[in-house]
Structure 1
Amino acid sequence: MCGITGWVSYRRNLTHEQATIDAMTQTMACRGPDAAGTWSEPHVALGHRRLAVIDLPGGAQPMRVSTPDGDVVMVYSGEAYNFTELRDELSDQEFFSDSDTEVVLRGYLRWGPAVADRLNGMYAFAIWDGRTQELVMIRDRMGIKPFYFYPTADGVLFGSEPKAIFANPLPKRVVDVNGLRELFGLVKTPRNAIWRGMQEVEPGTIVTVSENGIKTRTYWRLEAKPHKDSVEDTVLNVRDLLDDIVRRQLIADVPRCVLLSGGLDSSAITAIAADQLNEPVRSFAVDFVGQEENFQPDELRGTPDSPYVHDVADYVKTDHTDIVLDHNALSDPELRRKVITARDMPLGFGDTDASLYLLFKAIRGQSTVALSGESADEVFGGYKQFHDPVIQQADFFPWLLLARDMRRESSLTPELEKALDLRTYLNDNYRSAVAEVDRVDGEDEFTHRMRVMSYLHLTRFVRTLLDRKDRMSMAVGLEVRVPFCDHRLVEYVYNTPWSMKTYDGREKSLLRGAVKDALPQSVVQRVKSPYPSTQDPLYAADIERQANELPADHPVFSLIDRKVLSGAHRYTVERILSFATWLDIYQPEVVF
């Protein structure tokens, strides 16, 4: 895993801009603590920071291959899990390293941008093709790895994170109405970044920059296809896919581990990994001081995680470590600054962003690669909203309907609420998303409706969680892999009818059936519970005090109504502190 950045200009001589490309590259140091490199010629400058995971001595970047018609140079972030098979297909070429990076580069030399169709993995990479004087940017199918670009008058800036782009003097830090809608809407709109003029390379797309402009082509999207397998065969196929996916994602030349929460998803990955390794798998879980004593069940979290974590660790015999956090660590303003700097935006998930950062920081002392159970709920339909009859039929984003009080709107100042008109914006966004969903011939209305719900989660919700996981982990130099985002599994389960996904009358029936032989019954039967959040009242008191200490004229109160602080829900207090810290760090020009 790495950090990439670059600058293309068809009017400047970028060999004179070394200081700027160095500054852009340096912003990615946390993503790549092991090595740094830059490369330039008149119309392009590329920068790379490396986290060495495969072929530690080799794999240096930017990686260049010279041809008679010009150099082809790549900066690459991510992993191609099928690189050994692709290398076999390219056996007629002479390789100078054992890295997956070189396989991707030589694949481009053989197949051009169509190399993307052959990749299995998580990746964001840019290739300068000196033969055509074009930049080709490619992002993985699910959007696991972040990738941003900023068109300029004569080219483009790009980076793994916005901070790399902002290290160049050309863009301005402006957030307008559309950016604020992204921040407050809790829906990930394809292509949109929060910063004016900046875009994301959309998952599953290829963006080509030339002297004639910028062109985008989709190489992958979720498509509706008939599912012909029986329930029994479907369960077996899911298990076979998971076995193959985990086997591929365990490949690394550095220490590996799994993230274990005690839920079905992470436990499944842990059990399969333990079965495939010739040594005890390392597992890590986050917990909080006094969590079991303070725990109060609610409509989302019925039980604390710790007992189930230890059931799994004992059952599959992992080398387990609990990372236990207290309220002082979670509410620390300096930690909040680090987390917001890592994300380049205000936090959307309260203390869970902070606890993820601290968990990953602790893990990084022992492992460099971690496997996560992220995205199983989107793939298999595990969230509560998938099973609510009212939400199933509602014409709106399901996860927003689950929070029926819509707190994020009521906390805004009247001026901002009027300017954003979030309800209209979200309704338009919803209709646009639904229009993208294909239909299988003969599909009944309910089955199609559940397909729509799956599509919404896989294209408008999970990307926010994937971005959070990437930013929090890469901020401390930890590579987190997400087996449930393998596109083969996503495609297969997406096209499995809802009746099969719930064949035993419960959530995530297919996954439960596929791994029930590998897990303790306590976990097999456990009801879905989200990522843990501290219930320590001292944490709530800490952040409430900090919010009340903000000056009355702080810019945050031009966005969020100060009046809501009185008796505010913890979520609102966290949001106020998050936005205030973001405004202090980035000092954006906010326009609405």
Structure 2
Amino acid sequence: MCGIAGWVDFDRDLTDERATALAMTETMSCRGPDDQGLHLGRHAALGNRRLAVIDVEGGHMPMTADGLAVITYSGEVYNFGELRAELAAKGHRFRTRSDTEVVLHGYLEWGEAVVDRLNGMYAFALWDERTQELLLIRDRMGIKPLYYYPLPHGVLFGSEPKAILANPLAPPVVDIDGLRQLLSLASLRQRPVYKGMYELPPGHLLRVSRQGTRLRRYWALEAREHTDDLDTTVRTVRELLEDIVSRQLVSDVPLCSLLSGGLDSSIVTALAAKRGRIRSFAVDYAGYAENFQADELRGDPDAPFVRMLAEHVGSDHTDIVLGPDELADPSLRAAVVRAWDVPHFVGDMNSSLYMLFRAIREHSTVALSGESADEVFGGYAWFHLPEAVQADTFPWLAMVMREHQPTDILDTSLLRRLDMDTYTADGYRTALGEVPHLDEQDERERRMREICYLHLTRFLPFLLDRKDRMSMAVGLEVRVPFCDHRLVEYVFNTPWSMKTFDGREKSLLRAAGADLLPEPILRRVKAPYPVTQDVGYEQALRAALREVASDKESPVLPLLDPAAVRAAVTDPSEKVTTTMTRFGLELALDLNVWLTDYGVRLDL
């Protein structure tokens, strides 16, 4: 796992731009603390910061192949062993044990069609010396990020926007559409917040030449008839999971699992434990279990289930317990905004994950996660609520934004100009237009295929980005077995009636892992990632916003509604009653940090 950055310009000699190319690469040091490399050619500069996971000694990058091509690579290809053997049989000779070299030689053998053979999470840039072309490639599900910024005669690129913004040719400007994307709770467009910058969509490649750029989609979800019966389907899901976890356990450095005590992470941990003792980690909050209050999304705390699973599989388990003072630390907020490159309003869902990963990194370099099982198998409550399913919008918005929105704290005239309702509606219609359908599918199955597609393409990207940014900010690689494209394709085409055959959420996954888990975990209802319920944290948020509001130089003030700010910072007799209200406080504070630290120019 690494961070990549680069610059291609057919109109200038980049050998004179070493300092800028190095500055771009250095912004990725958090993603790659183990090694740094730079390939500097006349028209192409490729940089890499490496987190060594496979072939620690031999995998230096950027990597070249006989002067024919150069690659800077981020990610893991889990089937590199099979590909290496196939390439060796064709006469390719390897100097290292790394998957990077396999991908490079795969390109020399198959050209850009190499992407059709890769199983994994990856984002890489490959400069072909023979054709003087750059190829940018991102994995099918978008697990690893990749951004680019077109230039008149080339392109800038990087694993994160900060790599691109380190080049003077890409100033940090945000226009009205960028602000809309920032405030959205759906991945509506492949255009990030910064003006002129783009995100390479999942399952796409971009070829850059003197003639310009060519974007090609090499993978997409397709509608296929599912002919397996229920028993065969359950067995197939289990076989896929066994193979996926086995592949993703390959590592030359310490590996662990993330354990929440829910169905998803428990199955991953249990499958990993079948192949040897595994270390597991969980996040918890001081006093959380003792003072837990159930709400509409969460009925019980994680801790008892975490202990149950850890004892059941014999994992070497550690709880990372966080307190409200730690979570409210301004330096932590700044670190999280820096990791994202933009503000986000999900508050301690970000900061607690960052702290969890930072603690894990002291013991392990790689972690397995249960992320994306809810999107693949239909786990969220709103998959099963008629009012959310039938809503004329994204179902998660219909459920979690019924009363309050984080944007309620923004200036009313700004909100009118943003017109988030229209922006979201347009994005929703675009997404619906992409959904592949089967002929003669009944109305219920057709709608649930749409709901599943929306989650996989518009909700999951946010969660994958969050997982990637918070983990790579501390140099931890997180793998996501449920994002294996073979599993995603198979389950996507499984009828909804089969996905819920026992009348519950994630029926297929529960059946596939029934023999792995204690009964209470197998029966447990889906619980989302926890947020602290400590009133001290919310009091700290209000105090921080009062301080921001009292400083007339605070850059966020022109964006906020003074009356809403006054209401938000007033200490009530008890804690704020809705998560969305608290997220409004988080949004204002994050915006202020971002505008201050990034020197953003708002072009509204």
**When the two structures are superposed, what TM-score results if normalisation uses the length of structure 1?**
0.98
Task: Give the residue type in structure 2 aligned to 1:572.
Answer: G
Question: How far off is 1:290 after superposition?
Answer: 0.7
Retained in 2: the 8 A contact 1:400–1:406? Answer: no
Q: Is 2:262 aligned against 1:250?
A: no
SS of the equivalent of 1:583 reads helix
Question: How far off is 1:413 after superposition?
Answer: 1.0
SS of the equivalent of 1:215 reads strand
What is the CA deviation profile of residues 451-487 of structure 1, one whole-angstrom value per residue up to 9, with x for unaligned ones? 0001011001110110010010001100000000000
Q: How does 1:43-442 map to 2 (within 5 A)?
A: 43-66=43-66, 71-91=68-88, 92-277=91-276, 280-403=277-400, 404-442=402-440
Q: Is 2:590 aligned against 1:591?
A: no
Task: Give the residue type in structure 1 aligned to 2:582.
Answer: R
Retained in 1: the 8 A contact 2:345–2:583? Answer: no
Q: 2 CA distance for matches of 1:252 and 1:433?
A: 37
Q: 1 CA distance for matches of 2:248 and 2:328?
A: 34
Task: Give the residue type in structure 2 aligned to 1:47.
Answer: G
What is the CA deviation profile of residues 357-414 of structure 1, one whole-angstrom value per residue up to 9, with x for unaligned ones? 1100100011000000001110011011100011111221111111212413433211
Question: How far off is 1:578 after superposition?
Answer: 1.3
Q: 2 CA distance for matches of 1:183 and 1:282?
A: 36
Count of residues paired in the alignment: 587
What is the CA deviation profile of residues 524-564 of structure 1, one whole-angstrom value per residue up to 9, with x for unaligned ones? 01110001111111111111111111135322232232322
SS of the equivalent of 2:396 reads helix
Q: 2 CA distance for matches of 1:140 and 1:446?
A: 31
Map of 1:453 onto structure 2:
451
Map of 1:12 onto structure 2:
12
Question: How far off is 1:567 after superposition?
Answer: 4.2
Task: Give the residue type in structure 2 aligned to 1:496.
Answer: T
Map of 1:515 onto structure 2:
513
Picking from 576, 580, 589, the partner of 1:577 is 589
SS of the equivalent of 1:549 reads helix
Q: 1 CA distance for matches of 2:454 and 2:563?
A: 34
SS of the equivalent of 1:399 reads helix
Q: 2 CA distance for matches of 1:347 and 1:162?
A: 15
Question: How far off is 1:575 after superposition?
Answer: 1.4
Retained in 2: the 8 A contact 1:31–1:477? Answer: yes
Higher mean C-alpha displacement, 569-578 vs 489-498: 569-578
What is the CA deviation profile of residues 265-310 of structure 1, one whole-angstrom value per residue up to 9, with x for unaligned ones? 1011000000122xx2000000010101221100001101100000
Retained in 1: the 8 A contact 2:15–2:42? Answer: yes
Retained in 2: the 8 A contact 1:269–1:371? Answer: yes
Map of 1:490 onto structure 2:
488
Map of 2:573 onto structure 1:
none
Higher mean C-alpha displacement, 185-194 vs 71-80: 185-194
Q: 2 CA distance for matches of 1:557 and 1:266?
A: 41
Pairwise CA RMSD: 1.0
Higher mean C-alpha displacement, 332-341 vs 563-572: 563-572
Structure 1 segments of 4 or more deviating over 2 A? 408-412, 551-555, 557-560, 565-569
Judged with a 3 Å threshold, the aligned counterparts in structure 2 of structure 1 residues 221 and 406 are, in CA distance, closer, same or farther, namely: farther
Q: Is 2:479 aligned against 1:481?
A: yes
Retained in 2: the 8 A contact 1:58–1:97? Answer: yes
**When the two structures are superposed, what TM-score results if normalisation uses the length of structure 2?**
0.96
Task: Give the residue type in structure 2 aligned to 1:524.
Answer: L
Retained in 1: the 8 A contact 2:53–2:253? Answer: yes
Q: 2 CA distance for matches of 1:81 and 1:386?
A: 31
Q: How does 1:522-537 map to 2 (within 5 A)?
A: 522-537=520-535
Task: Give the residue type in structure 2 aligned to 1:359.
Answer: L
SS of the equivalent of 2:228 reads coil
Question: How far off is 1:501 after superposition?
Answer: 0.5
Retained in 1: the 8 A contact 2:188–2:424? Answer: no
Retained in 1: the 8 A contact 2:549–2:557? Answer: no
Question: How far off is 1:566 after superposition?
Answer: 3.8
SS of the equivalent of 1:504 reads coil
Map of 1:24 onto structure 2:
24
Picking from 548, 551, 557, the partner of 1:550 is 548
Task: Give the residue type in structure 2 aligned to 1:452.
Answer: E
Question: How far off is 1:30 after superposition?
Answer: 0.7
What is the CA deviation profile of residues 31-84 of structure 1, one whole-angstrom value per residue up to 9, with x for unaligned ones? 0000000011110111000000001111110000125xxx30000000000000
Retained in 1: the 8 A contact 2:409–2:588? Answer: no
Higher mean C-alpha displacement, 477-486 vs 411-420: 411-420
Question: How far off is 1:583 after superposition?
Answer: 1.2
Map of 1:560 onto structure 2:
560
Retained in 1: the 8 A contact 2:365–2:476? Answer: yes
Task: Give the residue type in structure 1 aligned to 2:593.
Answer: T
Q: 2 CA distance for matches of 1:571 and 1:216?
A: 36
Q: 2 CA distance for matches of 1:143 and 1:228?
A: 28
Q: 1 CA distance for matches of 2:409 and 2:544?
A: 18
Question: How far off is 1:21 after superposition?
Answer: 0.6
Retained in 1: the 8 A contact 2:189–2:427? Answer: no
SS of the equivalent of 2:284 reads strand
Structure 1, unaligned runs of 5 or more: none
Q: 2 CA distance for matches of 1:122 and 1:443?
A: 33
Question: How far off is 1:132 after superposition?
Answer: 0.7
Question: How far off is 1:348 after superposition?
Answer: 3.3
Map of 2:578 onto structure 1:
none
Retained in 2: the 8 A contact 1:379–1:494? Answer: yes
Q: 1 CA distance for matches of 2:561 and 2:279?
A: 46
Retained in 2: the 8 A contact 1:80–1:119? Answer: yes
Higher mean C-alpha displacement, 563-572 vs 29-38: 563-572
SS of the equivalent of 1:518 reads coil
Identity of aligned residues (%): 57
Retained in 2: the 8 A contact 1:190–1:202? Answer: no
Map of 1:3 onto structure 2:
3
Q: 2 CA distance for matches of 1:537 and 1:423?
A: 32
Task: Give the residue type in structure 2 aligned to 1:103.
Answer: V
SS of the equivalent of 1:551 reads helix
Task: Give the residue type in structure 2 aligned to 1:286.
Answer: V
Q: 2 CA distance for matches of 1:515 and 1:380?
A: 13
SS of the equivalent of 1:425 reads helix
Retained in 2: the 8 A contact 1:175–1:195? Answer: yes
What is the CA deviation profile of residues 112-166 of structure 1, one whole-angstrom value per residue up to 9, with x for unaligned ones? 1110111000000000001111000000011100100000111000000011111
Higher mean C-alpha displacement, 188-197 vs 483-492: 188-197
Q: 2 CA distance for matches of 1:128 and 1:139?
A: 15
SS of the equivalent of 1:516 reads coil
